[in-house]
């Protein structure tokens, strides 16, 4: 009796395992029918008191078809800058149908502006109001050699005064070797900022508790050039105030694991554009150059 | 319709199986000649019915698989009367449909024997999965046991096993439920119109009762299946008075994979996998005369999945364990024929432990990750049922539940990243949950019943929460048709923080805290049930609208395995809202040779969080617009029976890239160091759950041969089945990727899905003695 039961169980399980493993292992169905909502205009870029730079295009369905980068160009695009009452201030120029700019627009700090884009065959899009922020200079930059951070490392502290009101700050750091720019291998070494602000390039106001604010970076001088590592000679940093749209864009940057199921929740693409996609923000920053020790 | 009512008396007692002595749950008592008067037995086989005083009244008692019993009752006072039913040897008579007086709205109570006959994956009967065939209930990922009732989530289902909460009903990654069919006597699903005696969950109550055991003779049952086998033994401890039931079930994948363990011991490069799961159920009961009974039941179930393998010189091991324990002690006592007491003490424990290790001595890689989550609770529940008058029943009582939650203990170690040890022990929570309830069932006329109730619930965890939960259920009957409207407010003091993609690994049970408020819902439902005794048909149409408050979900873009995301309270979006609505149709036919039903649900299900999807309402992952189920069983002869299922569900929702656009970070050129001033592109995602997967559908078949072994009285069944007969490739997991198009030498992106169970044949053997 038990022999029969045992043999039956073994045979049944062996069969089931074979079936399970053959069924589970290679069942890619291939083409999954995914709906596409239709082409929309896209616009990205920034406004600042003395310059505007925007790129315009359109979305493309990429599922189950080959597409060329040319398809991302919006035909006959026109870009307008509007003031807070909706009045058109400028129509932007484009040398290549993609980038749009205007020299010295003299945008006013504390004022809201809108961007509107039209293109043939596509629904017009308009940004949300974008506030030009007040300029915040760096008070000073302190720089020291810091071996605990790793070989050939510098600690750089940026001191500035957090102005009253809701402000958003931005830093971007790089290094140069013989005037060639590269991304710096950097990291914020202030734990409080790390925990509260996730060490992204843009910082909300609550990252800085007092009017005397500090950002500390560890910077490696290793500079990759033609595969060889060399020592960078200078630090280039961009610092200033930005509008909240850049903060949202940085917070919602897609990660590498974005579409791997089970690893994380897929984030929505941040956009401040109605009827389309993209991020237009305002900035008021300066670029600084500091020789590395 | 108003009829002068004569004086009445209360007749109460138990309905039993004469062969085993077990009480029958859900047996029907109907006054012959009155389609509107009747009742059903409760979870303990107890009934209570008002009858005319001093007037001979004929009653018919019926139960699925038993001969109907007609009896004449004449009494001038309240009395206790027990009845026994004998099992059908040959089903030669058609089963009578329930009388209108016993038709239940918002409740699904299908005899276990019928649920066991529904063909399922691997041929193993699964009572929880079988419930997915009733209207208003849908399933999640292919093959898994999580039920989504009227737009709710699996954590909003209160799973009770002999009154004790079961937190995770999944075995083998959810492909099988933990409830061993050979140990289960009854299963009851409440979808709405919840009686006040139930609380603590928003969407459903699944009340499961274990078998008590045969108190007349020793019996047994063996089931041999493809992935596991079970043995059940039952018999009297004292004939006619006390009995035992003991059952065990184990998956033998682990036994068959033992050779891989031996080979990996000899050679570390050889991979080793094993998957173990087991269940044990024990129940004993004793009757002290006709008025007192005591039941003790115990459940123990575990799962373990282990893998060891080498990849690029690194030794990798994963270990995943989870399990449930429940223990219940119940005492019931009849105070005469008008008052019935039910006292329950129970204990529940659930644990989940997952670990991952990767080491490579040559690359100085050494990473380990350990995560544990535990829940324990001890509860005291007391309930009284009092027939104040023949037309007036009061059910009242209280519940005390002491919880202990240890939701997220994590240890992370990485030599690579100079993290010697990063251990977080989340706060231990020990909330006390109390509730008092009262239900009034009033039947001023034979055709009209109102069940109104109130439940007051209290929960203390960092902050005190108090809720009053009104419930009302109004039923009117006309001939063979029953109309109902119901409203219920329910509060739930725990949440299941579930990953929208996969289940289990990142699923955490967490209590309401000062930051995370308890879940609340309001549900209104109404419908009609009608029957035709001539055609043996029963049909129903029910509609519902449910609003849910204080829902939680992971924030957008959260990486579950990032060390910064280990504190669950920091990574959840709170105060979400949910709304679902739908209409459910069901048509059921039941004769001696044929039984089955068709059900269809049309529904909408949405969620809204301020932090997710820009605050805009979005479709819930299992927002299945259409859900059609057909299940049938037909007796070809006394020996052969054939069964079939068909299921069609609108595809689940998923978040996928909507298309491609210019890269919004580098081309804007706000970062001077990126050096990517090229026309690069990136995916964009337009909204949460923006894509709908292809519809899920499949057909299953089963063929069963019944026979007797050489020794008499040993009925056996051999079942053959096919799951997903026409090999539909229903998506199990989705990925988006690119491949090179050789014609244009460009990369082509596409979504692809992986199917899991495509044409799975099965065989199972079952014998009783």
pLDDT at B534: 83
Q: For residues A119, A123, A128 and A134, what is the CA-based torsion angle, rounded to 10 degrees? A: 0
Chain A, nearest residue to B556 by Cα: A267
Distance from CA of A87 to the nearest CA of B (A): 25
Reported confidence tier of residue A18, pLDDT bands at 50, 70, 90: very low
Query: Is A31 in contact with B658 (Cβ distance < 8 A)?
Result: no
Cross-chain residue pair A45–B734, CB shorter than 8 Å: no
Say if residues B554 and B602 touch (Cβ distance below 8 Å).
no
Look at residue B43 and tell me whether its pLDDT is greater than 90: no
Say what the pLDDT of residue B565 is: 52
* Tens-place pLDDT, residues B295-314: 999 999 998 888 888 877 78
Q: State the distance between the two ends of chain B, measured CA to CA, in whole angstroms.
A: 53
DSSP tag of B101 = G
pLDDT at B368: 79
What CA–CA distances, in Å, run from A98 to A57, A92, A245, B428, B668? 7, 11, 21, 56, 11
ipTM of the complex as predicted:
0.77
Q: Report the run of H or E that residue A17 belongs to, with start and end.
A: helix A2-25
Contact B557 A67 (CB under 8 A): no
The 8-class DSSP code of residue B636 comes to S
Span B483-509, pLDDT tens digits: 999 999 999 999 987 765 444 455 678
Cβ atoms of residues A39 and B649 within 8 Å: no
Between CA A193 and CA A189 the distance in angstroms is 8
The whole-number average pLDDT for the span B195-205 is 95
Shortest distance, CA B761 to any CA of chain A (angstroms): 8
Does B561 lie at the interface with A, CB-CB under 8 angstroms? Answer: yes
Residue A289 pLDDT: 86
Q: How far apart are CA B716 and CA B768, in angstroms?
A: 6
Helices assigned H by DSSP within B142-215: none
Residue numbers in A near B660 (CB within 8 A): 59-62, 67, 72
CA distance to partner chain B, nearest, from residue A244 (Å): 14
CA distance B635 to chain A (A): 26
**Which pLDDT band, with edges at 50, 70 and 90, does B347 fall under?**
very high
The confidence score (pLDDT) of residue B502 equals 42
User: B-chain residues within 8 Å CB-CB of A20?
Assistant: 760
Q: Quote the CA–CA distance of A8 and A254 in Å, as a whole number.
A: 52
Give the distance from residue A18's alpha carbon to the nearest chain B alpha carbon, in angstroms.
Answer: 11
Residue of higher predicted confidence among B682 and B705: B705
Contact at CB, B691 and A35, closer than 8 angstroms: yes
Interface mutation vs chain A, best among B659, B698, B720, most A CBs within 10 Å? B659
Q: Which of B414, B443, B401 is nearest to B101 (CA)?
A: B443
Mean pLDDT of chain A: 78
The residue in chain A having the minimum alpha-carbon distance to the alpha carbon of residue B564 is A195
Q: How confident is the model at residue B472 (pLDDT cuts 50, 70, 90)?
A: very high
Q: What is the spatial distance between Cα B769 and Cα B437, in angstroms, rounded to a whole number?
A: 44
The angle formed by the CA atoms of residues A81, A87 and A88, to the nearest 5 degrees, is 35
In our burial notation (b when 16+ CB lie closer than 10 A, e otherwise), range B724-741 reads bbeebbbbbbbebeeeee
Smallest CA–CA distance, residue B708 to chain A, in Å, is 16
- Identify the pLDDT of residue A293: 73
Chain B contacts of A172, Cβ < 8 Å?
A: 670-673
Taking one residue from A and the other from B, the number of pairs with CB-CB distance under 8 angstroms is 235
Give the mutation candidate from B223, B557, B677, B721 for the A interface (greatest A CB count, under 10 A): B557
Q: Tell me which chain B residues have a C-beta less than 8 angstroms from the C-beta of A55.
A: 662, 667-668
- Look at residue B8 in the predicted model and tell me its pLDDT: 82
Work out the burial of residue B99: count CB atoms within 10 Å of its CB; fewer than 13 is exposed, 13-18 middle, 19 or more buried: buried
**B503, closest residue in chain A (CA to CA):** A262
- Retrieve residue B121's tokens: 């994956």
Its pTM stands at 0.82
Q: Give the distance from residue B300's alpha carbon to the nearest chain A alpha carbon, in angstroms.
A: 23
> Is residue B475 within 8 angstroms of chain A, CB to CB?
no
Beta strands in B140-264 (DSSP E): 147-149, 157-161, 164-165, 170-171, 176-177, 184-190, 204-210, 219-224, 228-238, 242-251
- Residue B362, helix vs strand vs coil: coil
How distant is the Cα of A209 from the closest Cα of chain B, in angstroms?
A: 21
Cβ atoms B643, B632 nearer than 8 A: yes
Token digits for B582? 């739908």
A41 vs A273: CA distance, rounded Å: 9
Q: To the nearest whole angstrom, how far is the Cα of B502 from the nearest Cα of chain A?
A: 5
Residue with tokens 């199986």: B17
The half-sphere exposure of B735 on its side-chain side, counting CA atoms within 13 A, is 13
**What's the pLDDT score for residue B49?**
85
- Confidence (pLDDT) at A114: 97
In whole angstroms, give the CA distance from residue A57 to residue A45.
12
Which of these ranges, A214-218, A259-263, B550-554, B597-601, has the smallest mean pLDDT? A259-263
User: Cβ of A12 and B502 within 8 Å?
Assistant: no
pLDDT over threshold 50, residue B4: no
pLDDT digits (tens, 9 = 90+) for B390-439: 788 999 999 999 999 988 777 766 655 454 555 556 678 999 999 999 99
Q: Is B149 exposed, middle or buried (0-12, 13-18, 19+ CB in 10 A)?
A: buried
pLDDT of residue B230: 92
Report chain B's mean pLDDT, rounded to a whole number: 84
Q: Does B763 touch chain A (CB under 8 A)?
A: yes
Cα separation, B27 vs B84, whole angstroms: 11
Please identify among residues 656-695 of chain B the ones whose CB lies closer than 8 Å to any CB of chain A. 656-665, 667-675, 679, 681-688, 691-694
- Tens digit of pLDDT for each residue in B46-79? 888 888 888 888 888 888 778 888 888 888 888 8
Chain B residue numbers with beta carbons less than 8 Å from the beta carbon of A185 are none
pLDDT at B563 over 50: no
Average pLDDT of the residues in B582-601? 91
| Chain A residue whose CA is closest to B672 | A172
- pLDDT bracket for residue A191 (50, 70, 90): low
Cα separation of the two ends of chain A: 84
**pLDDT computed for residue A277 by the predictor:** 92
A64 and B500 in contact by Cβ < 8 A?
no
In total, chain B counts a number of residues equal to 769
Note whether A19 contacts B761, CB cutoff 8 Å. yes
The pLDDT confidence band at residue B738, using thresholds 50, 70 and 90, is low
Mutate to test the interface with B, among A12, A176, A237 (most CBs of B within 10 A): A12
Place A27 in a pLDDT band, splitting at 50, 70 and 90.
Answer: very low
Determine the Cα–Cα distance for residues B455 and B471; give it in Å rounded to an integer. Answer: 8
Of the candidates A72, A123, A121, A259, the one whose C-alpha atom is nearest the C-alpha of residue B691 is A259
Helix (H) / strand (E) element for B331: namely: strand B314-335
- Which of B555, B673, B749 is the closest to A183 by Cβ? B673
**From the list A23, A31, A57, which residue is nearest B662 (CB)?**
A57
> Is residue B696 helix, strand or coil?
strand
């Amino acid at each position: 009796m038990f022999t029969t039961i045992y043999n039956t169980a073994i045979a049944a399980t062996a069969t089931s395992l074979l079936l399970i493993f053959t069924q589970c292992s290679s069942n890619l169905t291939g083409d999954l029918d995914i709906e596409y909502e239709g082409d929309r205009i896209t616009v990205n870029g920034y406004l600042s008191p003395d310059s505007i730079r925007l790129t315009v295009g359109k979305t493309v369905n990429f599922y189950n078809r080959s597409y060329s980068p040319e398809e991302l160009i919006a035909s006959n695009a026109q870009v307008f800058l509007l003031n807070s009452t909706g009045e058109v201030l400028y129509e932007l120029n484009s040398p290549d149908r993609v980038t749009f700019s205007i020299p010295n627009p003299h945008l006013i700090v504390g004022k809201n502006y809108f961007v509107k884009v039209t293109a043939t065959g596509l629904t017009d899009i308009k940004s949300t109001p974008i506030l030009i922020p007040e300029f915040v200079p760096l008070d000073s930059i302190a720089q020291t050699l810091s071996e605990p951070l790793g070989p050939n490392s510098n600690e750089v502290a940026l001191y500035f005064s957090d102005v009253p009101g809701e402000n958003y700050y931005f830093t971007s750091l790089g290094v140069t070797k013989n005037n060639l720019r590269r991304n710096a291998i950097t990291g914020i070494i202030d734990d409080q900022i790390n925990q509260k602000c996730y060490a992204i390039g843009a910082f909300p106001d609550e990252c800085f508790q007092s009017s005397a604010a500090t950002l500390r970076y560890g910077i490696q001088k290793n500079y990759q050039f033609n595969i060889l590592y060399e020592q960078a000679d200078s630090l280039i940093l961009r610092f200033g105030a930005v509008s909240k749209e850049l903060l949202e864009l940085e917070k919602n940057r897609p990660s590498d694991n974005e579409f791997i199921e089970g690893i994380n929740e897929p984030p929505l693409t941040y956009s401040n554009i109605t009827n389309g996609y993209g991020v237009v923000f305002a900035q008021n920053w300066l670029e600084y150059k500091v020789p590395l020790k | 319709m108003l009829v002068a009512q004569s004086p009445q008396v209360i007749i109460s007692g138990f309905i039993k199986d004469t062969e085993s002595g077990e009480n029958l749950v859900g047996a029907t008592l109907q006054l012959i000649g009155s389609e509107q008067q009747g009742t059903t037995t409760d979870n303990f086989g107890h009934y209570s019915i008002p009858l005319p005083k001093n007037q001979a009244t004929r009653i018919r008692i019926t139960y699925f698989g038993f001969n109907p019993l007609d009896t004449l009752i004449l009494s001038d006072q309240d009395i206790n009367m027990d009845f026994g039913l004998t099992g059908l040897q040959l089903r030669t008579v058609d089963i009578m449909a329930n009388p209108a007086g016993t038709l239940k709205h918002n409740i699904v109570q299908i005899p276990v024997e019928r649920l066991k006959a529904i063909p399922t994956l691997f041929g193993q009967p699964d009572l929880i999965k079988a419930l997915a065939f009733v209207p208003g209930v849908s399933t999640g990922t292919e093959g898994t046991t999580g039920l989504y009732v009227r737009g709710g989530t699996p954590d909003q289902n209160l799973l009770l096993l002999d009154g004790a909460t079961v937190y995770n009903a999944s075995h083998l990654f959810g492909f099988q439920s933990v409830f061993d069919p050979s140990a289960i006597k009854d299963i009851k699903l409440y979808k709405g119109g919840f009686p006040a005696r139930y609380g603590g969950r928003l969407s459903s109550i699944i009340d499961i009762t274990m078998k008590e055991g045969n108190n007349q003779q020793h019996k047994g049952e063996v089931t041999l299946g493809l992935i596991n086998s079970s043995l059940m033994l039952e018999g009297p401890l004292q004939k006619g008075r006390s009995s035992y039931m003991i059952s065990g079930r184990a998956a033998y994948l682990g036994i068959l994979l033992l050779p891989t363990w031996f080979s990996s011991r000899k050679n570390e490069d050889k991979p080793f996998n094993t998957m173990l799961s087991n269940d044990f159920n024990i129940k004993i009961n004793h009757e002290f005369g006709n008025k007192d009974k005591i039941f003790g039941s115990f459940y123990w179930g575990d799962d373990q999945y282990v893998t060891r393998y080498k990849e690029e010189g690194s030794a990798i091991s994963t270990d995943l364990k989870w399990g449930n324990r429940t223990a219940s002690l119940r005492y019931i006592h009849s105070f005469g024929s008008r008052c019935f007491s039910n006292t329950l003490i129970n204990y529940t424990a659930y644990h989940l432990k997952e670990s991952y290790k990767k080491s490579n001595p040559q690359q100085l890689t050494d990473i380990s990750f350990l995560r544990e989550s535990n829940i324990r609770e001890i509860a005291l529940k007391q309930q009284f049922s009092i027939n104040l008058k023949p037309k007036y029943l009061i059910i009242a009582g209280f519940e005390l539940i002491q919880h202990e939650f240890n939701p997220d203990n994590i240890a992370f170690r990485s030599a690579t990243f100079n993290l010697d040890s990063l251990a977080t022990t989340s706060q231990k929570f020990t909330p006390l949950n109390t509730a008092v309830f009262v239900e009034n069932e009033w039947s001023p006329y034979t055709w009209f019943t109102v069940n109104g109730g109130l439940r007051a619930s209290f929960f203390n965890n960092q902050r005190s929460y108090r809720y009053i939960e009104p419930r009302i259920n109004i039923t009117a009957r006309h001939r063979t048709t029953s109309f109902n409207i119901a409203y219920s407010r329910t509060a739930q003091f725990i949440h299941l923080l579930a990953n929208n993609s996969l289940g289990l690994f990142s699923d955490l049970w967490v209590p309401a805290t000062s930051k995370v408020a308890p879940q609340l819902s309001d549900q209104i439902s109404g419908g009609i049930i009608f029957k035709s005794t001539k055609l043996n048909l029963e049909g129903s149409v029910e509609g519902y609208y449910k609003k849910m408050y204080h829902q939680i979900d992971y924030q957008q873009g959260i990486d579950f395995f990032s060390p910064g995301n280990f504190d669950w309270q920091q990574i959840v979006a709170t105060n979400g809202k949910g709304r679902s609505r739908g209409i459910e149709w069901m048509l059921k036919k039941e004769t001696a040779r044929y039984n089955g039903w068709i059900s269809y649900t049309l529904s909408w299900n949405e969620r809204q969080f301020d932090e997710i999807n820009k605050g805009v309402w979005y479709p819930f992952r299992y927002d299945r617009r259409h859900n059609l189920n057909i299940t049938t069983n037909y007796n070809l002869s006394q020996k052969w029976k054939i069964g079939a299922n068909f299921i069609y569900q609108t595809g689940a929702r998923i978040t996928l890239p909507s298309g491609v656009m210019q890269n919004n970070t580098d081309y804007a050129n706000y970062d001077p160091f990126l050096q990517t001033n090229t026309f690069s592109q990136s995916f964009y995602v337009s909204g949460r759950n923006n894509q709908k997967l292809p519809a899920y559908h499949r057909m299953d078949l089963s063929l069963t041969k019944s026979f007797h072994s050489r020794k008499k009285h040993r009925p056996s069944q051999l079942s053959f089945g096919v799951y997903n007969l026409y090999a539909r490739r229903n998506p199990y997991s989705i990925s988006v990727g690119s491949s090179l198009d050789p014609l244009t030498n460009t990369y082509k992106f596409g979504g692809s899905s992986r199917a899991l169970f495509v044409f799975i044949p099965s065989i199972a053997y079952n014998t009783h003695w």
